Structure 1
Amino acid sequence: MRHLTTPVYDDIRERAMRFIREELIPLEREARLGPEDPWPRPLLGQVWKRSCELGLLTAAMPEELGGPGLSTVELCLLKAEIAESGALLALHVLGELSGPPRIGSLMRFATPDQVERFFKPVMHGDKGICFAMTEPHSGSDAASIKTSAVRDGDELVINGHKHFITGSPFADIAIVICVTDPEAGPKGISAVFVDLNARGVRVDESCVPMSGQHMDADIIFDNVRVPVANVIGGFGNGLRLGMARVSFNRLLHTATMIGAARMVYKMSLDYARTRQQFGGPIARFQAIQHMLADMASSLFACESMMLHAAMKADLGEELRMEASACKLFISERCFEIADKAVQIHGNVGVTHNHPVEITFRKLRMMRILTGTSEIQRNTIAKEILQG
């Protein structure tokens, strides 16, 4: 892959992997952090600040927004390798759960005041941020959201319920997609910065996903007042701004899936070579060999597909169909890889919180999160039928 990367990428990659190996994993052990333990906010703050010092927290940002300007191909390669490390806090190295990537291209539409108040603290690792669009009744149907923001002089009064918002348990700020003009349909939806410590905001962490990780929560807004100056990109542009990040993010998410699948594939190879049954390693059985062959083939297909789409993104080409195809194919193939890893590991693979068992649960979720497989098929069909 070296011909696809630059010296800047090689340096960032080396810093990231050294940080994970020499600091992050030892820190997790020192804190006795388990796979399903809530992440202490002071610990996360420590990780964010250190990642910022190492130039990793903004590594996924374009050059004009304070990042190193890595290509999409390089971002995918980096995210996959970080995920493959198996570190419990791996997703915080690049700030993927609550850092600059949660802001993404929205920073281009921020006013200087918004950059100072909201974006810079996140870029420096001082605060966490989340993106709040999904609601209990409007998962894939983003245009049907009901959270309202009613203007009252120089303020907006926000009421509503956001559901399963990633990063919200440890975020200080939320970018909330809400209805500011109920008569205007999708053009009446706006994006608003909300301080999660404001009066009337409640973060409910009772919705723990099947992975057991405490990284999602509901946010309830009860007459929460925020300045009109907190609207991003002007009134009525919230849905457009929110959806603009979807295709690109779907592609980047596939890198994390591939990294996790690659980890359990390598674990399965090692286990097959060392696990003794009936007088020899189980790797000599054709049934095991076929599962490993399928896993290797699927990984090759997934990696090739992701990199092809990433190259198109770097050329500035439309990515809507390709991103959905990647999300669909890679999420389903990586889950199958995890399923085979469980089978190869036998009773070890079904032991609660074993890395293979945890990865199985995480990858099963990815067929739902950031758009279900069915929604991806809808998008692909629409794109190909329109020519």
Structure 2
Amino acid sequence: MSAAPLPAGFEGSPEAAAFIARVQAFLHDELAPLAATEGIDSAHAPDRALLRRVWRLSHERGFYGMTLPRTMGGAGFDLVDHVLIKEAIYASGSPFAPHVLGELSGPPRLGALVQAATPYHLAEVIGPVARAEKAICFAITEPEAGSDAAAVQTRATADGDGFVLDGVKRFISGAPFCDLAVVIACTDAARRETTAFFVERDRPGCRIEAGYKTMAGQSHTGNIVLESCRIPAANQIGERGRGLALALGRITVNRLLHTPAMLGLARLAFEDARAHALARRQFGQPIAGFQAVQHLLADMATDLAAARALMLATARRLAQGGDGRAEASMAKLFCSEAAFRIADRAVQVLGGEGIVQGSRVEFLFRLLRMYRVLTGTSEIQRNTIARELLAPAAAHTAAAEPQPA
């Protein structure tokens, strides 16, 4: 793996370009040899101890806390720079790509919680997570609460000077290697009231059930089982009843921030397909000379360009203070669908090589298929887009109707 040059006409700031150059050198010079030595690739995931080494290295090099506020050591990049940096990290092909910025376990998981943190939270949770000393995950999803996040059944019952939690959180990214979790629990079932809490992994009554893998062969997810798990009142985050509001406080931005990962991975699939088409010979010529293959490559390049343009346009809108709820859902919908189409066509270009496990495009096909489900399914994105599109019309219709005297 070699550090790829920045494309001509780089859309971000000079500071972001310099940051990308440094992070590419880190990926190439330090993480690539580490992955080779430890045997880490798409089929062999790093264990918790190795991930801690990666997080600490990234923190020492100034990458891990990039997304934090400047007051906490963050880089202060706007959203356009952020998506470009993340795209470049994933386009490197490094198996450690999700861990350089701590996306499954570090500062990006804190999100809007920083604004509701108490001095105790800053000292015991936020600070250690920012310094790569502790790993954190975000636990909302349950067996009966997925798209309907307000339907959580995990209960938090006030008891003396704390709370007792009971329930199961399912498919939680980063759970296998977390030190603590942000748990959204029901504090009033009748009102569907939810509250957020920090729950330490080593508390009695808390256990992690991991070991299962996603269709991409990764083991980044697990279940968090809470059985009469007692936590102090100080572990409550923000006001009671504001759990989902805190969890969803950055949902528009977070939806957008998944798109550069998809597009970085899709670029890998496209580049592998193009290289194979130029190298593979049939009937006396490279298969890139056949119109059928040319059309596949043309469609892949067009999908990639269109998805990337939508991602950047949405990032600019949000960076300028625009609402962008519909646009962020459009970006997540289109980029996830387009990235999977690119991977699907890459498999087609590689033919037999593309369907063998161990082939990178075969892995990317499985991984990019997951993004159509993760972080809000395509159907949920369409619901959001439609609601945003129809809301002004509905309001206009209501205002035009005669009102009762």
Match of 2:400 in 1: none
* 8 Å CA contact 1:321, 1:380 repeated in 2: yes
Corresponding residue SS for 1:224: strand
Q: 2:169 aligns with which of 162, 166, 176?
A: 162
Shift of 1:378: 0.6
Shift of 1:260: 0.3
- In 1: Cα distance, 2:282 partner to 2:256 partner: 41
Q: 2:107 aligns with which of 100, 109, 119?
A: 100
Q: 1:357 aligns with which of 362, 370, 391?
A: 362
After superposition, residues 319-338 of structure 1 pair within 5 angstroms as 319-338=324-343
Aligned pair 1:7/2:22, yes or no?
no
Corresponding residue SS for 2:248: helix
Count of aligned pairs:
385
Structure 2 residues without counterparts, runs of 5 or longer: 1-7, 393-405
Match of 2:230 in 1: 225
Shift of 1:335: 0.2
Residues 41-50 or 54-63, more deviating: 54-63
Shift of 1:3: 6.4
* 8 Å CA contact 2:211, 2:219 repeated in 1: no
Match for 1:143: what amino acid? A
Match for 1:348: what amino acid? E
Over the matched positions of the two proteins, sequence identity in percent amounts to: 44
Shift of 1:193: 0.2
- In 2: Cα distance, 1:85 partner to 1:201 partner: 37
Match of 2:80 in 1: 73
* 8 Å CA contact 1:158, 1:224 repeated in 2: yes
Q: Deviations over 1:272-328 (max 9, x none)?
A: 001011111000000000000000100110000000000011011112111111111
Match for 1:282: what amino acid? I
* 8 Å CA contact 1:146, 1:160 repeated in 2: yes
- In 2: Cα distance, 1:363 partner to 1:159 partner: 34
Aligned pair 1:120/2:114, yes or no?
no
Q: 1:343 aligns with which of 348, 373, 395?
A: 348
Q: Deviations over 1:144-186 (max 9, x none)?
A: 010011010111100000010001111101000001122322x
Match for 1:130: what amino acid? C
Shift of 1:65: 3.9
Match of 2:301 in 1: 296
Aligned pair 1:213/2:218, yes or no?
yes
Match of 1:46 in 2: 53
Match for 1:18: what amino acid? A
TM-score, normalised to structure 1, is 0.97
* 8 Å CA contact 1:39, 1:214 repeated in 2: no
Corresponding residue SS for 1:244: coil
Match for 2:173: what amino acid? T
- In 1: Cα distance, 2:263 partner to 2:45 partner: 25
Shift of 1:33: 1.8
Structure 1 residues without counterparts, runs of 5 or longer: none
Corresponding residue SS for 2:342: helix
RMSD: 1.2
- In 2: Cα distance, 1:36 partner to 1:270 partner: 23
Q: 2:388 aligns with which of 370, 383, 386?
A: 383
- In 2: Cα distance, 1:12 partner to 1:173 partner: 30
- In 1: Cα distance, 2:183 partner to 2:47 partner: 24
Shift of 1:10: 2.4
* 8 Å CA contact 1:343, 1:349 repeated in 2: yes
- In 2: Cα distance, 1:252 partner to 1:217 partner: 22
